[in-house]
Chains A and B, each alone.
Chain A
Amino acid sequence: MKKPDLKKLKEVDFKKAARDFVYGKPHGERRLGDLYIPKTGLYKHREWRGIKDTMYYFNHIWLYNYGMIVRDLMVYGGGPKGMIQFLKGTWRYRWMGQTYLTVMHWFDRCLEGMRGETLAASAWHFRGIVSACLYQITGFFNRDLNIGGDPELRAKTIGTDETVWGGVIYPYMDQGGYYLPTQMIPYFVTCHCNNHTVLNYIDAVQAYGLPGDPCPMCQAEAGIYIEDDVPDSYVAMVTTNEACDSSVGTSVIQDWMMNKPLFAMPQVMQFDDDSVLENCAKEIEMAWRFMEEHTGLEFHWEELKKHIELQNKQNQFEREKWDVAANTHSYPINGVAQALYRIFYSQYGERPFWHDVDKKVRKIMEKCVNEDINTFPMTRHRVIAWSCAPLYYSAWCTWAYNCWGLNTIINMDSLMFDLDIRTDTYENCLLDIAKYHEWAPMRRMAVGGLQHIFELWENMEKFNCDMVMMYDQLQCKGMQGVVGLFEDEFRARNIHAIWMPHALPDKRTVPRSQIRQIINDYMFTVMGEEPLDPSLLDFDDSDSW
């Protein structure tokens, strides 16, 4: 038997080792990059966060969410039949088959290095997102005629383009009216969980002759239709021009490929302009009449009002969160959780699971504020992320905090839809819904007018940010069309901005490693700073989910 190296043993600081075991290693000593198996992005072993947080992660995040996934499938799916439909759907649809196992790895990536209240509050946001996804997935599969779904449920279901606000279904929800954003799950969510999934759809549409330069999000959306990978779960479709010219093009493909009644509910191109609201309001009313015609449902004003008021509450809480984020160091939600949760619920519309999450998060946030907890203690820079984010690397915020202390306080997507809709009269409500559409993503701040894109400056000030992570979506014509003006303004205002090139869902254009390299280069050469965790500077996750 080999003798223990006493000299080495003497060098071990047992006190510190015990402290690290109990509380986890302090930031800077964690070497999180060493945990990865090269290329895969998978862990050799799980991160030890100290006894309390490791147990919390294992019990309240891993086990809890696995359990809740099964629970959601049973509850939303309507019992065992729903589970059978889920299995059939997983077998039938590529996007489902490739994604269901990767969900918890998505949690891992986004919550890496988080501790205490930050870990808990961020994880609750993910729980909300997953619950919403399962609500939609069971909604898809229970109605899907391709896999023996229920035609009666399908008859009350409207499919929509992903960027149609879920509130269009509010007036019909008490009658079983159902809304399915047809690309949100098949493309948007799956891309976050497993970034390989959408590549097939992008290739499919390009094989039909579409050039490679239009927005890759729209390419993926169109590819899903071309591959016949959209469940037949709805009687008619409502589409929109939101967010950009490519979205209009996608509608054309959708129409030709699915051959169902389709209503175009285009949004106006101007902002904060009362002269355009009337047109928008009329189009929304026409969309309701279209939905009624094809589903036989009736418009219930009280039902609309009820959901709008609940939605307003969500919005009000969001503002409270922003207030904490802007003015304290006690905001317990990391950049990726903040961004995804906000865009999910504001786009999908009011549902009970969001309120459950908000209650939990409120409690955690109030604790943080009351006890003055510094939730991101290693923050070196307060970052605002602007323009549209890389879907295949939404976890960059987590990486940037762990590696460099770049704390993403707020992002552009979160700031849209910031409107309380009036419910005093139908007319006011309708006008506000029209305005809500004007403020939709990305109309307000990416493809929209210049004055709104440049809301960046006032938001930097409002959220006390000292750095901009400027997303450079290479195929977004709206943002590409103003890059020079941003450069000029950054220089004139002496703002540190890192341009992060990406191609939304298509990781092949700018790999994750290149994104990290760009941030690393800026931090070393321009900021003259050293990383908090050098093991995260460079690692190979090219084949990872």
Chain B
Amino acid sequence: MRDLKHLIYFEDLLQEANNELVRKGKEDGNLCLGYTCYFMPEVLLDLPGCFAVRLRAPRCTSPDMASYYMSGRTCHYGRSLLERALEGGFNFIDAQLATETCTVTCRFQEHLDYMDDVINNATFKTSFTDVPFKKNENSIDHYRKQLKIKVLDFLAKEYGVDTSDEAILKAIKINNEVNDIITEIGNFRKLDNPTITGYEFSVITLVSMVCPKYLIVDKLRETLEELKTREPDDKPNYKIKVLLAGSENDDPDFVKLIEGCGALVVADRHCYGSLEARQHIDIKEGEDPLTAVARHYLLTSQCARFMEQKEMRHRKKVLADYAKEYKADGIIVESNKFCEYWSFERMIDTIVLPRDFGYPVCSIEKEYINTASGQLRTRFQAFVESVELKKIQEGK
């Protein structure tokens, strides 16, 4: 396939957290607000005068200082973020909107709060939001109240941010614009012979999370237009199509590694994936924008921390439905080493998805940065072969 015009530019933006557009956004006088988890609604951090940056620690392979603080037995992602912070790599963020949603990222954010000298930025403050474990009305109500107190009131009080309904509506509008573009781009993955690779899509999704939206939206739109006329290769250079599910993954090279083994990644349901993060935010009639945001972010998530009985069961079906919709032949369920939610979820997925839904599953435990992993390559190659053989036996 023809190369995407902006791909190299997008890749460059992912090389460091404080990228060119983040710097530009700050030069424009905006507040840069960091977050780590989907449950911190990025739309509320994109209020007028602010922009959201989902924190990453690209190219961090050896978080030595962070391992002193968080030991070597915690999630590599959380440690890598702390390492980057200790290196001074997050001095550009003006506030951290934190969530207590998984233990290690919470601990990382607590370090930012507790250690005065980590973020060298005079305006820096943190605020922690309590996120419910259920999706009932009580949870939505609680979540809304938390967002009001811990995000909106915090931003208004500490930074003078306009948090009115009108401001939230504006933020929803720009977010929806990006969401719709990414969703439309993602839909090309549903084609029998997709015109976008999983790697390319991963890069595009990620830049939309780590750059000010008003600065990246034009290039995203241009990329969408380009894809509309992009011709697929005559002969597909993949053997099977897979859905990638699991925990935190902001490393496009991991997707590249999978695709290098012959499995095209056509759907992404993981912490930095698009299937949840890039859904259009709807406001019901008579609903205030903050309630709409709370409802949206709770109901769209299929995170493994939801514990209602129906949710624990339903999310398997959601995965299977995604696999069907995106014509995936199998599912790769990954979890970061030391991620407890996804260790358990992955184990159950590995049993339930083949048994109840007929999807072969490749269960993978990975590190934050995995490019050079020969072991993973062997696992993926074996999985691709097994699914391929199954397809041949079924005469597909």
Binding site for B on A (CB under 8 A): 205, 208-211, 213-215, 218, 222, 239, 241, 244-246, 248-253, 255-256, 261-264, 266, 268-270, 273, 275-276, 278-279, 282-283, 286, 447, 449-450, 474-475, 477-478, 480-485, 487
Q: Which residue of B lies closest to A283 (CB)?
A: B138
B370 proximal to A (CB < 8 A) = no
Closest chain-B Cβ to A196's Cβ sits at a distance in Å of 24
Q: A256-B348, A286-B138, A481-B106 are in contact. List 11 more A-B contacts (CB 8 A).
A: A248-B307, A248-B340, A249-B345, A252-B345, A255-B313, A261-B309, A262-B309, A279-B132, A283-B138, A480-B70, A481-B70
How extensive is the interface on chain B, given as a class? 35 or more
Q: Which residue of A lies closest to B115 (CB)?
A: A485
**Does the CB pair A255–B107 fall under 8 Å?**
no
**Residues from chain A with Cβ under 8 Å of B149 in the complex:** 275
**Does the CB pair A483–B103 fall under 8 Å?**
no
**Does the CB pair B130–A252 fall under 8 Å?**
no
**Residues from chain B with Cβ under 8 Å of A264 in the complex:** 133-134, 307-309
**Does the CB pair A213–B134 fall under 8 Å?**
no
Q: Which residue of B lies closest to A237 (CB)?
A: B309
Instruction: Rank and list the top 7 A-B pairs by shortest CB-CB distance, nearest first.
Output: A249-B344, A484-B69, A481-B107, A279-B142, A266-B133, A269-B100, A245-B340
Selected contact of B350 from candidates A209, A270, A283, CB within 8 Å:
A209
**Does the CB pair A276–B130 fall under 8 Å?**
yes
**Does the CB pair A263–B309 fall under 8 Å?**
yes
B352 proximal to A (CB < 8 A) = yes
**Residues from chain B with Cβ under 8 Å of A483 in the complex:** 68-71
| Measured CA separation A215–B344 after assembly (Å) | 11
Closest chain-A Cβ to B287's Cβ sits at a distance in Å of 20
| Measured CA separation A479–B134 after assembly (Å) | 25
B305 proximal to A (CB < 8 A) = yes
Q: A239-B307, A252-B345, A264-B307 are in contact. Are A484 and B337 (CB under 8 A)?
A: no
| Measured CA separation A450–B350 after assembly (Å) | 35
B235 proximal to A (CB < 8 A) = no
Q: Which residue of A lies closest to B129 (CB)?
A: A270
Binding site for A on B (CB under 8 A): 68-71, 73-75, 78, 100, 102-104, 106-108, 110-111, 113-115, 128, 130-134, 136, 138-139, 141-142, 145-146, 149, 304-305, 307-309, 312-313, 337-338, 340-341, 343-348, 350-352, 363, 365
**Does the CB pair A253–B344 fall under 8 Å?**
yes
| Measured CA separation A410–B108 after assembly (Å) | 29
**Residues from chain B with Cβ under 8 Å of A222 in the complex:** 344
**Does the CB pair B138–A211 fall under 8 Å?**
no
Q: Which residue of B lies closest to A249 (CB)?
A: B344
| Measured CA separation A279–B138 after assembly (Å) | 7
**Does the CB pair B307–A241 fall under 8 Å?**
yes
| Measured CA separation A222–B309 after assembly (Å) | 16
**Residues from chain B with Cβ under 8 Å of A253 in the complex:** 344, 347-348
Closest chain-B Cβ to A126's Cβ sits at a distance in Å of 33
Q: Can you give 26 contacting A-B residue pairs, CB < 8 Å?
A: A209-B350, A210-B343, A210-B344, A213-B338, A241-B133, A241-B307, A245-B102, A248-B133, A249-B343, A252-B307, A252-B348, A253-B344, A256-B352, A262-B309, A264-B308, A270-B130, A286-B136, A450-B114, A477-B75, A480-B70, A480-B71, A480-B74, A481-B74, A481-B78, A481-B104, A483-B71
**Residues from chain A with Cβ under 8 Å of B106 in the complex:** 269, 481
Selected contact of B131 from candidates A256, A269, A450, CB within 8 Å:
A269
**Residues from chain B with Cβ under 8 Å of A249 in the complex:** 304, 340-341, 343-345
Q: Which residue of B lies closest to A266 (CB)?
A: B133
**Residues from chain B with Cβ under 8 Å of A210 in the complex:** 343-344, 347
**Does the CB pair B138–A255 fall under 8 Å?**
no
| Measured CA separation A449–B138 after assembly (Å) | 23
Q: A450-B114, A477-B340 are in contact. Are A245 and B145 (CB under 8 A)?
A: no
For A218, A447, A485, A487, which residue has the most chain B Cβ atoms within 10 angstroms?
A485
| Measured CA separation A297–B363 after assembly (Å) | 44
Closest chain-B Cβ to A514's Cβ sits at a distance in Å of 17
Q: Which residue of B lies closest to A273 (CB)?
A: B130
Closest chain-A Cβ to B47's Cβ sits at a distance in Å of 21
**Residues from chain B with Cβ under 8 Å of A279 in the complex:** 130, 132, 138-139, 141-142, 145
| Measured CA separation A420–B301 after assembly (Å) | 38
Q: A210-B344, A275-B145 are in contact. Are A248 and B110 (CB under 8 A)?
A: no
Closest chain-A Cβ to B379's Cβ sits at a distance in Å of 13
**Residues from chain B with Cβ under 8 Å of A209 in the complex:** 346-347, 350-351, 363
Selected contact of A211 from candidates B104, B139, B365, CB within 8 Å:
B365
